[in-house]
């Protein structure tokens, strides 16, 4: 598994700073029980199989707390790791290791979980030509981190926020008066990028195609309706890309992909996250 080639989020350091401030506040009282000069060695172990993701956040926690802490990774970012496997080893001031433990593991277990779930969905539709998309249903303040993890798991990012793509949904259509009126307003806005329209019926798919929407979001369509929408789209002189969304489960995923849609967007990649079970253990013989 390869991790994102476009690099790390610009707000990674700010995310880490916020996490440290939230956890440490005015100071780690428990860590002050340890002599300041004490050094220690530790290792992080995965208690379950996973796609490793979040090492840069883990490293940044300790860089901000004490840059003398050394982290040696046994596995690269994006690697498939097994239960019981050592992910990394740490050495440095004991106080810094103790203070950073929870924040560093929080990032690693959350982002590994997002990457792992994404990888399962991507693997389930292998060979269909369909791609898995994320959504904006992310943990507040960690959107760029979770979207990085989706890419690390082999998925594709949908829009990052409200600012980088027009997505005309049910309430926009109702407020504008029609799909045609909403799309016309989007073109006058001249925001650039594709214009996406949500459709809940085949009639709305037809209306979106008529006004040359770039992408049509098929909301809660059953497989038979998805196939009908794909046929309607292919018969159109200017077909759009089709995105299926709503009520998607891993069990029914491949059947959706095999209808011929281009994308399947899944909020569960980032909102229904069960953190990967990781533990950090100090080695005997700390000095």
Catalytic pick from 63, 136, 165, 169? 169
**Residue 14, both tokens:** 């700010």
Catalytic pick from 60, 85, 198, 262? 198
Residue 45 contacts residue 86 (beta carbons within 8 Å): yes
| Sign of the dihedral defined by the CA atoms of residues 93, 96, 101, 103, in that order | negative
Is 212 one of the catalytic residues? no
Q: Could you give the CA distance from residue 70 to residue 57 in angstroms, rounded to a whole number?
A: 14
Catalytic pick from 102, 136, 254, 271? 102
Q: What residues contact residue 241 under an 8 Å CB cut-off, 6+ apart? A: 194, 214, 215, 216, 262, 263
Catalytic pick from 134, 219, 243, 262? 219
128: Cα within 13 Å, side-chain hemisphere: 21
Phi-psi region of 69 (alpha: psi -120 to 50; beta: other; left: phi over 0): beta
Is 271 one of the catalytic residues? no
Q: Could you give the CA distance from residue 168 to residue 182 in angstroms, rounded to a whole number?
A: 7
Is 170 one of the catalytic residues? no
Q: Could you give the CA distance from residue 1 to residue 9 in angstroms, rounded to a whole number?
A: 19
Q: Could you give the CA distance from residue 128 to residue 58 in angstroms, rounded to a whole number?
A: 35
Catalytic pick from 63, 74, 137, 271? 137
Phi-psi region of 116 (alpha: psi -120 to 50; beta: other; left: phi over 0): alpha
Is 147 one of the catalytic residues? no
Residue 278 contacts residue 32 (beta carbons within 8 Å): no
Is 137 one of the catalytic residues? yes
**Which residues are the active-site residues?**
102, 137, 169, 198, 219
């Amino acid at each position: 598994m390869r991790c994102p080639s476009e690099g790390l989020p610009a707000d990674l350091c700010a995310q880490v700073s916020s996490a440290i401030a939230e956890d440490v506040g005015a100071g780690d009282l428990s860590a002050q029980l340890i002599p300041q000069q004490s050094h220690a060695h530790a290792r992080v172990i995965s208690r379950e199989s996973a796609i490793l993701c979040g090492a840069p956040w883990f490293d940044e926690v300790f860089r901000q707390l004490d840059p003398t802490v050394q982290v040696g990774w046994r596995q690269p970012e994006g690697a498939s790791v097994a239960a019981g496997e050592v992910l990394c080893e740490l050495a440095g001031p004991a106080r810094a290791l103790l203070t950073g433990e929870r924040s560093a593991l929080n990032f690693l277990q959350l982002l590994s979980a997002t990457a792992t779930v994404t990888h399962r969905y991507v693997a389930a539709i292998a060979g269909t030509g369909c791609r898995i998309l994320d959504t904006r249903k992310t943990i507040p303040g960690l959107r760029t981190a979770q979207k990085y993890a989706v890419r690390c798991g082999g998925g594709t990012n949908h829009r990052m926020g409200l600012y980088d793509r027009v997505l005309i949904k049910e309430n926009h259509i109702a407020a504008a008066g029609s799909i045609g009126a909403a799309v016309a307003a989007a073109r006058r806005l001249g925001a650039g990028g594709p214009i996406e329209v949500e459709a809940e019926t085949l009639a709305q798919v037809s209306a979106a195609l008529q006004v040359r929407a770039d992408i049509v979001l098929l909301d809660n369509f059953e497989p038979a309706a998805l196939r009908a929408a794909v046929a309607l789209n292919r018969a159109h002189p200017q077909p759009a890309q089709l995105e299926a969304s709503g009520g998607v489960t891993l069990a029914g995923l491949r059947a959706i992909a095999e209808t011929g849609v281009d994308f399947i967007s899944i909020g569960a990649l980032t909102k229904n996250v069960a953190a990967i079970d990781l533990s950090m253990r100090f080695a005997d013989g700390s000095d």
